Structure 1
């Protein structure tokens, strides 16, 4: 069983349901019934077969226009039909599976209830509700009431065509409430339902380009009044540098307004972080292309219409001050803060930090972003290509956000990237927090005697 808190108030999933969902993640893709709903909607909207050549060409043009606007950091408009159809064809499949990963983490961490009141702000054509419907239907347990907010007329129409039909197809485990038409940038808490268990901002805060980081944080903090006392806020943005970094800055600002960052960040020294250069994201396995995506990809430059990789920056926030990892560095433990690494250049030291990326390098030189909540500069744990033995895979086991102790890593400064590398050596010891050694481990010297190494070594 997974997802049961001591009070028994969390959603529990039996082994059969768990295995079905894990099997889905091993070979992820948009289920056939959802593909059929999208294809039927395209046919109804255009009065032509969903794979009609003219329809496909117009969707291609809409996708190319959206991608161009995105990379120019301009807001994409969904006032006409084909931009929404293009979104359903190109973006929605990845975002659907992406949110199932996030929701599954929420279930696994005991944050989901047997019955959930879920509010999706800026829902578009309903990708988040569709992910909820699909996951709950697959695991065979849990129920939910879905509330959503959207301002676009075309998205509104697509939502009403897709989401209620999907809920009915999966046995009405999820009840779909009437869609709320509003601009989330102008929302007031009083306009929303209360006692929300899961409040979702998926790929929407970054679109509020007219608002500053502080204004976005003020908006989320105000709407959090409608959250249940033990409710969770999910914020998701694309993994590119601009959006992912702005998201971390927004989350930090929201925390300054009284909410608690549950994950992935851990403030193990009890200090506030500086997210100005915090570019960190998760990556999951590629999805299978949909039938629609494959048809769009036929012909010249077809790769431009295939979107299968899942990379995203996300955070969970809470009102009740609960956190995923409550670990704090024990008094007297001799670990160096990552903000003090300039004092330890070319020396071997002990550190404790959260793992904030998968391998960013390759199979030879492995690179992992790490953070302890203190650094102003980027810090990476590096497993060099020349290293042999068990330490080559020592950082493969911990999950994104997990905390590890690193004993005897060599500090190097990378001038090209203005970042510090913690080089894992044959004698380095990697110890996940929560290991049998307990919190009292690691009380030796911060700097290892005799560890000075030549700068060019």
Structure 2
């Protein structure tokens, strides 16, 4: 029997029994193979199957690996983190470390007018290159210092939001092995270190990949010192200097619990969507069976849409999209026009940012709003929302809205944006995995009553049922609007359904 057939037999037994003996597998695979050689064949596959193997006399016991309990956070730790999110700012100890690094690097005070002016110029060049969709270079000192002053504060708080989401959804273990691919000056490790220090529970070991020598110099000055300042619960491993596009997975540690691509894939401009997807899938070889991949990109149209297309391509290669997409119709989506992002509360400007903003056009150096597009992927089949539209449920597919223009219908969809409108007319992007055109739930400025705030407390990615929404077609944007009316009923998908009503209600 081939190794492939042996592994298939192992999967069948593991699916039928929580524990069994190797001798049972030996019977399935036929005589002529010793138990010791059979054990050698299956050992490389045990991790991916979530199994363990232990000797038992002249036999072996194979059993399912018990799931590790997720990290628990005390009420006090939770409140400290939530208080941080209510008034987010870069912690003082990190600001001081950045200022000290600038002084060490330039041999001048961070307040020095020449230093500030050169940092301003570096920031303006980076912003220009970004909007022209050119690759930003970090081969010299001032581009890195500009990054630390302008981009890093927002990205640090942003990743604390993402890591807190992972904790809140039970995806973080008491001890984590984390890889940050393309770490830059170490913003993601700094965010993790800061969050762990604030909540007072959990530990981690962090591995990073970075090709820029200037970024690595900043990383080595900032990250180990921050880990020490926060009590050493996070162990910082020696950085791997390499280009992530040319790195073999064998060069990385195995059984990683979390792999992060934060504002990285969009910079690989020499790669197309499929090449970026292949890169992520290759590195996923080092992921633990219950590990998570985080992909984060800027919220602008080009990068956000490219990220959704990349994530779709990754899923086509066998990984599972945990969130925000739910595929409630169990169909593959078309992300060609999927521009969706999250928005969090503005951060407080750092001292350095305030100094840069002094003088003419100072607003160009203030960066405080947090908007990002992200996705979580898994090697297993775990997803955030297991809800699927029941067979026969009387909800219209969003891909069929052209059949219902100017009619009131029932739909169910995931909410995949915050309010994209204003305080008067509120606009939320929704999706059920089927439409080619963007679909928006619209709360008109003239609407009064409880439906005016019906979507305000619905979390990003949560699934919502709409009963009696009016379908309109927006020719200017080639999109459909689901207009919420006074009589529209809105409820989370987990609530009792009421699918007995017809798709059309009038």
Normalization by structure 2: what TM-score?
Answer: 0.86
Unaligned runs of 5+ in 2: 1-65
**Alpha-carbon shift at residue 443 of structure 1 (Å):** 2.3
**Partners of 1:364 and 1:89 in 2: how far apart?**
35
**Alpha-carbon shift at residue 441 of structure 1 (Å):** 2.5
Length, aligned pairs only? 441
Name the residue aligned to 1:250: 310
**Partners of 2:480 and 2:287 in 1: how far apart?**
40
1:286-435, aligned counterparts within 5 Å? 286-435=346-495
Is the Cα–Cα contact under 8 Å of residues 261 and 295 in structure 2 kept in the other structure? yes
1:5-24, aligned counterparts within 5 Å? 9-24=69-84
Residue deviations 1:417-440 (CA, integer Å, cap 9, x gap): 1000000011100010112x2xx5
Name the residue aligned to 1:447: 504
1:279 to 331, 339, 347: 339
Name the residue aligned to 2:245: 185
**Alpha-carbon shift at residue 197 of structure 1 (Å):** 0.4
Residue deviations 1:74-109 (CA, integer Å, cap 9, x gap): 000000000000000000000000000000000000
1:56-135, aligned counterparts within 5 Å? 56-135=116-195
Larger radius of gyration: 2
Normalization by structure 1: what TM-score?
Answer: 0.96
1:49 to 100, 109, 120: 109
Moved over 6 A (4+): none
Unaligned runs of 5+ in 1: 1-5, 452-457
**Alpha-carbon shift at residue 7 of structure 1 (Å):** 5.2
**Alpha-carbon shift at residue 8 of structure 1 (Å):** 5.8
**Partners of 2:231 and 2:196 in 1: how far apart?**
10
**Alpha-carbon shift at residue 222 of structure 1 (Å):** 0.9
Structural RMSD (CA): 0.9
Is the Cα–Cα contact under 8 Å of residues 332 and 443 in structure 1 kept in the other structure? no
The answer to whether residue 276 in structure 2 is matched with residue 216 in structure 1 is yes
Is the Cα–Cα contact under 8 Å of residues 95 and 127 in structure 1 kept in the other structure? yes
**Partners of 1:57 and 1:200 in 2: how far apart?**
33
Residue deviations 1:17-36 (CA, integer Å, cap 9, x gap): 00000000000010000000
1:189-204, aligned counterparts within 5 Å? 189-204=249-264
Residue deviations 1:359-396 (CA, integer Å, cap 9, x gap): 11111111100000000000000011111111111111
**Partners of 2:104 and 2:421 in 1: how far apart?**
46
**Partners of 1:431 and 1:133 in 2: how far apart?**
38
Aligned to 2:376, the other structure's residue is in SS state: strand
**Partners of 1:181 and 1:385 in 2: how far apart?**
53
